[in-house]
Structure 1
Amino acid sequence: MRARVFAALASGLAMFALSPSDTFAQSKYDIGANDREIKIGNILAYSGPVSSLGIIGKVEAAYFQKINDEGGVNGRKINFISYDDAYSPPKTVEQARRLVESDEVLLIFNPVGTPTNAAIQKYMNTKRVPQLFVGGGATRWNNPAEFPWTMGFQPNYQTEGRIFAKYILTTKPDAKIAVLYQNDDLGKDYLKGLKDGLGDKASMIVAEESYEISEPVIDSHIVKLKASGADTFISIALPKVAAQSIRKISELSWKPLFILSSIGASIGTVIRPAGFENSQGIISTVYLKDPLDPQWANDEAKQRFDAFLAKYAPEADKNDYFVVYAYVISQTMVKVLQQCGNDLTRANIMRQASNLKDFKPDMLLPGIALNTSPTDFAPMKDMRTARLKGERWEIFGDIMSGSDRGN
């Protein structure tokens, strides 16, 4: 009898030793985290001129649900709160304040948009709340000395602009270049990278046309660019304008070398609506696997992506670049939270985000990995060139990095 009592007592003590309260006894928390949950905010356009970006938030929510179903991150569930800003900077400011001051989130993750994020960057840093993995490639997200609470994610736009320049100088050194670009930091960063890459041959650019994101159509800009006599056209545009530029060039029977920015190169939201027949031969850059490319049919990482979509986001279009992007960036957020362990403070979030070492989310192209440091807030620096052939992007050439600055 006494043996059974001691056994029961020992069992009870063991259960007590492994209780959740003891597991989290040494935990550190800031507002937005506790023993049970991690509250993450998000802002992007579910409505307005770039509402096609809304799929990003939907896939992110689905991925975090998957993580929660598997037990959460270090035993804590993710509470993902996502708000619409319609790609309007004043609305972004309003939603950021709502998330930080009312919802009391631990951080804002992957807020999408260059002008919208610029509008909240000082606020987030004043509040010392992570503005983590910004959805935009402006160089301003990699400035840890001045903005230690803001970090980007994708290769920056100036890098991509330099890659465009290098391609043109190599394949068409006598080109006459016309550029369509969004009139904000997004478009201006691309344009700067292009001119930096061209160097003393920047005069190859014979025409530039900027457009406002609020413009319903950009046909008149394309007409002006064609009239310049250019034989090379670069479209720096988000999906709606990217698709319009492809269609209008086809309508005009203009046959330039067509280079399309990666942010507007989605098969699902750009190329298919614009017409595959109008898009053949377009050049762009890629850093993500195309889930419908036969070369990845037996790839285990791609199979995990397929299984995730089938269970958690069956309505999502695999042809949509932003679906794959959302999956990859969500995996990266979870990686940072895992590295945080039981120290869920905002300072440690940024410390771990700036300590990514050769992290390879499932759908990055081989040879590309994420790396950060306290002085380098640009996780991804590498891309490859691609050409549209049939209904797929055909990758060619070597990996190019931010150190490639053309000739």
Structure 2
Amino acid sequence: MRSYVRCLLGLLLPVCAANAQEVPGVTDKEIKIGQTMPYSGPGSHYSTIARANEAYFQLVNDNGGINGRKIKLVSLDDAYSPPKTVEQTRKLVEQEDVLLIFDTLGTATNAAIQKYLNAKKVPHLFPTSGATRFADPGQFPWTMGWQPNYQLEGHAFATYILNNHPTAKIAILYQKDDLGKDYIKGLRDRLGDKADAMIVTELSYNISDPTIDSQIVTLQSTGADVFMNFATTKFAAQALRKAHELNWKPMQMLATVSASAAVLKQVGTEASSGVLALHYLKDPADPKLADDPGLKEWLAWMKKYYPSGDVTDEFNVLGYSNAQTLVQVLKQCGNDLSRENVMKQAQNLDMQLPMALPGIRLKTSATDYAPMKDLHMARFTGEGWELVGSIISGK
């Protein structure tokens, strides 16, 4: 009898173990997800996004979680270094056994893990990057972006310039990777046959560079009257300060990756007032939104769950909104939290996020991996953002 029981257990245990591994990161009580974020290094300001993610998941957990399961976020430092991102992501997938990778920060960092995650069939959801490669279901069916992609943003910038400054002489600073190249491609595509005449110069920088002062001096010397600042926060801030120091006063247009009131306030009012940027989320510093229900709810959440966070920092709005989107995906999964169903539900979203600007809706489908597509130009006042004109479609 004992040998029979041992034999039966020997047959059952491998089956049970296989079933347990069918849904990595999921138990009856927990859903474990992973991400990397630059808690150190040149992109460290962005780490507030991860803290906002975690704070929103805490709100969800305090209210019972997802169908009784609490969300556990394992967030590791990658220092904004692609090799480190690869190392930490492998740890998350192969050692931490997470269900999915969520909201990893950066274009080069996400690009470094994209093929690995797709080969492993691990959902790679809502990376904080607008590179077009993260909205390509044909080539990367397990990766879905979130924010408007940089080519769409380039389209929208070009539309605004053509409508409001059609004789512009444009100087461009860009990061020498997919981020910068996507912005330029989008801008040039929409400018069309006017692009070569309007763009007087394009200068790049590497994220390892200590400064971009020399590039700004060169850009000023071109006589450009429009400055496209396609840089991440550290370098965008340096560019604004240097332009102010040189008394160069073109119309300045700033990439969304750096369009944070908190960042611009550090630059200083004189150097940053009047800067234009495209937005799709509400500015928490906008006094006209004082009675907005979505903003009131967000401020109450910040006060309770992220009291050390800056309530003027749009990256905290981004982290909150990204997390809300993932929670919706997990809710739609019900009790089928297989990786396949996670991707299926990510392809079936249609929602108005509380902190998205009015008229900007998040939608996906099996062939549309670009959830956010519309943008609204805004001008920085020194304290917050003032919307200009109407919604611009990046499509």
Does the pair score TM above 0.5?
Answer: yes
Cα distance, 1:328 vs structure 2: 0.5
Partner residue of 1:365? 357
Decide whether the 8 Å contact of 1:29 with 1:343 is kept in 2: no
Which of these residues, 295, 307, 310, is aligned with residue 288 of structure 2?
A: 295
RMSD: 1.4
Decide whether the 8 Å contact of 2:284 with 2:313 is kept in 1: no
Partner residue of 1:389? 381
Partner residue of 1:374? 366
Partner residue of 1:325? 318
Equivalent pairs counted in the alignment come to 376
Alignment of 1:2-401 (within 5 A): 30-203=23-196, 204-268=198-262, 270-357=263-350, 359-401=351-393
Cα distance, 1:28 vs structure 2: 11
Secondary structure (helix, strand or coil) at the match of 1:343 reads coil
For 2:266, the aligned partner's letter is P
Cα distance, 1:29 vs structure 2: 5.6
For 1:394, the aligned partner's letter is E
Provide the rounded CA distance (Å) in 1 between the counterparts of 2:178 and 2:133: 9
Provide the rounded CA distance (Å) in 1 between the counterparts of 2:284 and 2:224: 35
Cα distance, 1:165 vs structure 2: 1.0
Decide whether the 8 Å contact of 2:346 with 2:364 is kept in 1: yes
Provide the rounded CA distance (Å) in 1 between the counterparts of 2:96 and 2:289: 41
Provide the rounded CA distance (Å) in 1 between the counterparts of 2:166 and 2:56: 45
Provide the rounded CA distance (Å) in 2 between the counterparts of 1:243 and 1:180: 12
Decide whether the 8 Å contact of 1:29 with 1:344 is kept in 2: no
Cα distance, 1:157 vs structure 2: 0.4
Provide the rounded CA distance (Å) in 1 between the counterparts of 2:259 and 2:72: 31
Cα distance, 1:59 vs structure 2: 1.1
For 1:137, the aligned partner's letter is G
Decide whether the 8 Å contact of 2:265 with 2:382 is kept in 1: no
Secondary structure (helix, strand or coil) at the match of 1:78 reads strand
Provide the rounded CA distance (Å) in 2 between the counterparts of 1:253 and 1:215: 24
Decide whether the 8 Å contact of 1:28 with 1:345 is kept in 2: no
Cα distance, 1:390 vs structure 2: 3.7
Can you list the C-alpha shifts for 1:147-200, whole angstroms capped at 9, x where unaligned?
Answer: 110000000101111111111112221111100000000000001001111100
For 2:378, the aligned partner's letter is A
Provide the rounded CA distance (Å) in 2 between the counterparts of 1:154 and 1:53: 15
Secondary structure (helix, strand or coil) at the match of 1:284 reads strand
Q: TM-score, normalised by structure 2?
A: 0.93
Partner residue of 2:6? none
Q: 294-303 or 259-268, which moves further after superposition?
A: 294-303
Q: Which structure 1 residue ranges, 4+ long, deviate > 3 Å from structure 2?
A: none
